């Protein structure tokens, strides 16, 4: 009887040598990919840290007030002040910059892919297993190759975050495009719309609330990667949590976690209000 | 309201006649086929071998949508394509602007084959020549009524001021003034379809394609919209292809009707032609349950059987007329002028009265019966029923130039109804 005692397919070996081969031969390629991410991240991060904290809080308060109302504005200002008083202001700004950068790249890449998938069944079929893998593969699996290809630090953290946070915006953009009534597309064609016009004047405007929901989900996923990104040397609010974990400093870990939760609620409520505003 | 509708129906029919006389064929469809599925050409060759739609589906899984449709639509007429669901009528209309790509055949619009157009030419054709109105309205929910009405113009790149002006005008035409800033979901179904109609009209197309445009509306609103369409058609003649599964609608607005069954066009003709001479049992079955009085017009059953006299200024007219009536053993005479326009009716009793009172100087008009009314030859039996029922004399029928065509008697009216109920064959109209 066959008992699976021996390894017949040495897949792990193959993968290791494949990644080694990539690292040796094509590191330059990954450095090129890294560059725009690095550039955006350091720009946003430096910017946020240069601005006086109270001004940042004020701007967030105004945004919350504009998209929702006084209630959310009050919560936002209060939470940010509280985070500042906990002594996590610089970390919060780094996390914010990382979330912002990864979300920007997720949007830039995800929305076009989502539109393509929404309009082509074939591409959608091709893309779905890839997205499934991106969402379900434990982050620890791709942390190693990311470190090998991009080294450690904030930028590598953002890249890992992009991998994890990309699927929702692609999926929901595709869904939004598919949800547009075929009659509306037909009506546009009947009046002489070109493919571009159908996309720009009918499909995207009508898919926008769904795309915004995807953006919201992507932001949430990005925030949930903060701690994992800290494992490969990324700074921000994940760092105190990881440090607390390593040193069994329960207080430090909890306070770091609390700041992440508060930031998540703020970003979630603001982007959700933006989505529903567009709908009305 | 009712009188207005009759008026409009009449005018649109006259318009149709003019178009027929000019024989201006706006759209010509030749041998149009649509086979849905992975290998349409195979379906075509099976059709050529004489296989039926069902056999082809069983053998190959291909669905025959439209098979061998050929007909032409005249400029300025309302051409109704009628059939049950699945008969291919929606497919047919979508092949005219290639929303559905035909498998084979020709669609000539103003002599140009739409199927040979390049992508760019097709876009131009759709923008300039056709407008379309949909059963589901298909309004853009994110745009205001005005933006919706201006949609076609926006696609065409008309600048904002210009297109809003034209869209405002189109909205005015359909009676939606003042609703420009509303959103479609704030309007009732009828009003939404008015927006749909305005969108179709704003691009000022030669051809309006209407796909079950009023089917989603409740009956009262539907009738109102049909009237609206006829009114618009009266003001600005367009070639309208109207898809419908509603027979009453087809008969009400159609100058000509094409009946489709199983992807085939089984009969094309005016409502009267089809009613009087249905091509096959399918068409006949369609008309079962139709109230014939709404379809047959006075002109269809008019008979020139009554004595007529030509009015003149000479004295002694009444005596001569009375003499003629008693010679022929008739009670009524129909008085016409020298161009055979209907003037009035005299009876033997009224002639005697006039002669007695006039001392030999009486004229024919002194003997005219009061409350005499003539009817147009386009009025339906339904409309003339009260007149026929309430007067002793046969009702005079005139054409659109007031020329006397004959009469409809009670007897003839009843006999027509009797025939209509016993079979779908009506007697041919009097020559």
Class in CATH terms, B299-422: alpha beta
Q: Distances in Å between the alpha carbon of A208 and those of A65, A167, A279, B292? A: 22, 17, 8, 53
* Chain A residues touching residue B125 (CB < 8 angstroms): 192
Q: What is the pLDDT of residue B93?
A: 94
Residue of B nearest to A203 (CA): B140
CB pairs under 8 A between A and B: 54
- Mean pLDDT value across residues A244-270: 93
Residue pair B316/B365 in contact by the 8 Å Cβ criterion: no
Interface contact A187-B130, CB threshold 8 A: no
Is the ipTM higher than 0.90? The answer is no
**B117 touching A, CB under 8 A?**
no
pLDDT digits (tens, 9 = 90+) for B213-252: 998 888 888 888 898 899 888 888 899 999 998 888 888 8
Q: What is the pLDDT of residue B360?
A: 65
- Mean pLDDT value across residues B286-302: 73
Tokens of A19: 């990644």
Q: Please report, rounded to a whole number, the percentage of residues in chain B having pLDDT higher than 90.
A: 36
Choose the mutation target among B136, B147, B186, B199 for the interface with A, i.e. most A CBs under 10 Å: B136
Q: What is the pLDDT of residue A211?
A: 93
Residue pair A192/B124 in contact by the 8 Å Cβ criterion: yes
For chain A, the structural domain boundaries read 38-49+93-279
Interface contact A186-B138, CB threshold 8 A: yes
Q: Please report, rounded to a whole number, the percentage of residues in chain A having pLDDT higher than 70.
A: 98
**Which CATH number is associated with domain B2-129+205-290?**
3.40.50.300
pLDDT digits (tens, 9 = 90+) for B280-291: 777 777 666 666
pLDDT digits (tens, 9 = 90+) for B128-141: 999 999 999 999 99
pLDDT digits (tens, 9 = 90+) for B99-125: 999 999 999 999 899 999 999 999 999
- Mean pLDDT value across residues B248-259: 89
**B124 touching A, CB under 8 A?**
yes
Query: Is 80 exceeded by the pLDDT of residue B23?
Result: no
User: Which DSSP string corresponds to B71-93?
Assistant: EEEETT-EEEEE--TTSSHHHHH
Query: Is 80 exceeded by the pLDDT of residue B421?
Result: no
Q: How far apart are CA B226 and CA B233, in angstroms?
A: 10
Please, which residues bridge with residue B174 across strands? none
**A183 touching B, CB under 8 A?**
yes
* Chain B residues touching residue A180 (CB < 8 angstroms): none
Is the sign of the CA dihedral B149, B127, B94, B100 positive or negative? negative
Among the partner residues A186, A191, A205, nearest to B155 by beta-carbon distance: A191
* Chain B residues touching residue A206 (CB < 8 angstroms): 140-142
**A194 touching B, CB under 8 A?**
yes
Residue pair B380/B294 in contact by the 8 Å Cβ criterion: yes
Q: What is the pLDDT of residue A30?
A: 86
For chain B, the structural domain boundaries read 2-129+205-290, 299-422
Asked if CATH classification 1.10.3720.10 holds for the domain at A38-49+93-279, the reply, yes or no, is yes
pLDDT digits (tens, 9 = 90+) for B312-335: 766 557 878 888 888 888 888 888
Q: How far apart are CA B288 and CA A244, in angstroms?
A: 85
Q: How far apart are CA B276 and CA B327, in angstroms?
A: 37
Q: How far apart are CA B73 and CA B76, in angstroms?
A: 9
**B183 touching A, CB under 8 A?**
no
Q: What is the mean pLDDT of chain B?
A: 84
């Amino acid at each position: 009887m066959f008992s699976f005692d021996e390894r017949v397919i040495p897949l792990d070996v193959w993968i290791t040598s494949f990644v080694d081969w990539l690292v040796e031969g094509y590191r330059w390629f990954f450095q090129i990919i890294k560059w725009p991410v690095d550039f955006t991240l350091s720009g946003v991060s430096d910017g946020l840290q240069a601005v006086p904290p109270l001004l940042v809080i004020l701007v967030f308060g105004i945004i919350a007030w504009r998209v929702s109302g006084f209630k959310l504005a009050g919560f936002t200002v209060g939470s940010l002040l509280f985070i500042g008083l906990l002594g996590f202001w610089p970390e919060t700004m780094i996390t914010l910059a990382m979330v912002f950068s990864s979300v920007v790249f997720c949007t830039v890449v995800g929305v076009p892919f989502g539109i393509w998938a929404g309009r082509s069944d074939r591409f959608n079929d091709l893309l779905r297993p890839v997205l499934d893998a991106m969402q379900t593969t434990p982050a620890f699996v791709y942390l190693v190759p990311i470190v090998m290809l991009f080294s450690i630090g904030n930028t590598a953290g953002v890249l890992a975050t992009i991998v994890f946070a990309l699927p929702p915006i692609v999926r929901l953009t595709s869904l939004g495009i598919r949800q547009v009534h075929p009659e509306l597309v037909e009506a546009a064609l009947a009046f002489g719309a070109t493919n571009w016009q159908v996309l720009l004047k009918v499909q995207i405007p009508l898919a926008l609330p769904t795309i915004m929901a995807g953006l919201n989900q992507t932001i949430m996923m990005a925030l949930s990667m903060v701690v994992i990104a800290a494992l490969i040397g990324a700074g921000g609010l994940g760092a105190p949590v990881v440090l607390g974990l390593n040193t069994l400093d329960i207080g430090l870990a909890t306070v770091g976690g609390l700041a992440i939760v508060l930031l998540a609620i703020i970003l979630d409520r603001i982007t959700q209000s933006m989505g529903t505003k567009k709908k009305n | 309201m009712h009188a207005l509708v009759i008026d409009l129906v009449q005018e649109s029919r006259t318009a149709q006649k003019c178009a027929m006389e000019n024989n201006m064929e706006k759209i010509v469809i030749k041998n149009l086929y649509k086979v849905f599925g992975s290998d349409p050409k195979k379906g075509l060759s099976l059709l050529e071998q004489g296989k039926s739609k069902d056999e082809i589906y069983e053998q190959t899984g291909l669905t025959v949508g439209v098979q061998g449709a050929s007909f032409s639509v005249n400029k300025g007429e309302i051409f109704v394509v009628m059939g049950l669901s699945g008969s291919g009528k929606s497919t047919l209309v979508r092949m005219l602007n290639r929303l559905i790509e035909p498998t084979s055949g020709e669609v000539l619009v103003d002599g140009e084959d739409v199927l040979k157009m390049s992508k760019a030419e097709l876009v131009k054709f759709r923008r300039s020549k056709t407008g379309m109105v949909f059963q589901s309205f298909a309004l853009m929910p994110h745009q205001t009524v005005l933006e919706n009405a201006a949609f076609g113009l926006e696609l065409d790149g008309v600048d904002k001021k210009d297109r809003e002006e034209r869209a405002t005008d189109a909205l005015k035409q359909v009676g939606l003034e003042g609703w420009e800033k509303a959103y479609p979901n704030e309007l009732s179904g009828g009003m939404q379809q008015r927006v749909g109609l305005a969108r179709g009209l704003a691009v000022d197309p030669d051809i309006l394609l209407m796909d079950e445009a009023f089917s989603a509306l409740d009956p009262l609103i539907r009738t109102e919209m049909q009237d609206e369409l006829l009114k618009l058609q009266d003001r600005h003649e367009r070639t309208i292809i109207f898809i419908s599964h509603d027979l009453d609608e087809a008969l009400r607005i159609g100058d000509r009707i094409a009946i489709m069954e199983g992807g085939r066009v089984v009969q094309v003709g005016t409502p009267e032609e089809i009613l009087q001479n249905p091509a096959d049992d399918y068409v006949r079955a369609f008309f079962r349950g139709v109230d014939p009085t709404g379809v047959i017009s006075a002109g269809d059953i008019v008979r020139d059987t009554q004595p007529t006299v030509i009015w003149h200024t000479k004295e002694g007219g009444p005596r001569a007329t009375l003499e003629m009536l008693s010679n022929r053993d008739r009670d009524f005479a129909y008085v016409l002028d020298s161009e055979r326009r209907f003037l009035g009716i005299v009876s033997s009793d009224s002639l005697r009265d006039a002669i007695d009172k006039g001392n030999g100087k009486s004229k024919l008009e002194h003997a005219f019966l009061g409350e005499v009314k003539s009817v147009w030859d386009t009025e339906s039996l339904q409309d003339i029923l009260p007149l026929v029922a309430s007067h002793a004399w046969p009702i005079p029928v005139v054409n659109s130039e007031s020329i006397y065509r004959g009469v409809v008697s009670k007897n003839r009216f009843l006999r027509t109804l009797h025939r209509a109920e016993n079979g779908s064959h009506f007697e041919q109209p009097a020559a």
